[in-house]
Amino acid sequence: MLAPCLALVAAAPSAASASSIAVDRACYANPSQRADTVRLTGVGFTPNAQYQVTLDGQPLPSGTGTTDAAGNVTGSFTSPELDQGVREHTYKLGVQEGANAPETQFTVARLLANFTPASGDPKTLKVRFRLFGFGLSGTQAPPIYVHYIRPDDKVHKTVRLGTGGGACGSIERTARRRLFPFAARRGTWHLQFDSSWTYRKGTSKSTFLFFAVAVKIKSG
């Protein structure tokens, strides 16, 4: 796993009776898809004391510093890279300073949609869809749809797959259903997954989250 580096700056004075830390969001993108910055704030520490930031119990490189005169700390780092094959992971973030060791957590997710099994006759195949990261836009409990785009690039049908849960708006797996809930004609279809009932073609310039998968129908 790639280790992020923490950039430390002084925080504005703030009074607190016990140490605590927080991050600015619950979910961040995997940096291979989008570079997100995790912003950390902490209050209630010993003034002018040294501390160490940890990620999943391990020291964060460049994550040492000194609290300000009010016992506060702030910092930022790029969201950590997920291990190969990992779709989503919740990290435990901590700050250790003397007897103070508060913790919080955040989740990193890949924007991803797929289905299993991935082989067989797509015209009759029954699958479970797996959907991750559809809450990366900041939307809580996003609806997730699949738009079936014909070989002529026209939308044929839109189906709601469910509501994304957890910090990143993901569905670990749906109920088993037909991959194509209609008679699909021959050619290459595109399945576009997003959070809108109304279909808009996703491109590299799109400002909304989407994930597309191509499926080839060989007969029909």
How far is C-alpha 204 from the geometric centre of its chain's CA atoms? 19
- Residue indicated by tokens 């079936």: 148
| Predicted local confidence at residue 171, as pLDDT | 98
DSSP 173: -
* Rounded Cα–Cα distance for residues 175 and 181 (Å): 14
How far is C-alpha 174 from the geometric centre of its chain's CA atoms? 18
Q: Which two tokens stand for residue 94?
A: 């901590």
* Rounded Cα–Cα distance for residues 151 and 171 (Å): 28
8: nearest Cα among 89, 90, 66, 71: 66
Strands 177-178 and 155-163: unpaired
Is residue 185 within 8 A of residue 220, CB to CB? The reply is yes
| Predicted local confidence at residue 219, as pLDDT | 80
* Rounded Cα–Cα distance for residues 177 and 132 (Å): 18
pLDDT (tens digit, 9 = 90+) per residue, 13-42?
444 459 999 999 999 999 999 989 999 999
Give the start-end residues of each E strand in the chain.
7-9, 20-23, 27-29, 37-43, 50-55, 58-66, 73-78, 88-96, 103-109, 112-116, 126-132, 143-149, 155-163, 177-178, 187-194, 211-217
* Spans of the chain, pLDDT less than 70: 1-17, 220
190: nearest Cα among 127, 116, 143, 122: 122
| Predicted local confidence at residue 7, as pLDDT | 47
| Predicted local confidence at residue 29, as pLDDT | 97
Number of CB atoms found within 10 A of residue 121's CB = 11
| Predicted local confidence at residue 6, as pLDDT | 47
What domains are defined for the chain?
Answer: 7-109 (2.60.40.1930), 112-217 (2.60.40.1930)
| Predicted local confidence at residue 17, as pLDDT | 54
| Predicted local confidence at residue 164, as pLDDT | 98
| Predicted local confidence at residue 2, as pLDDT | 38
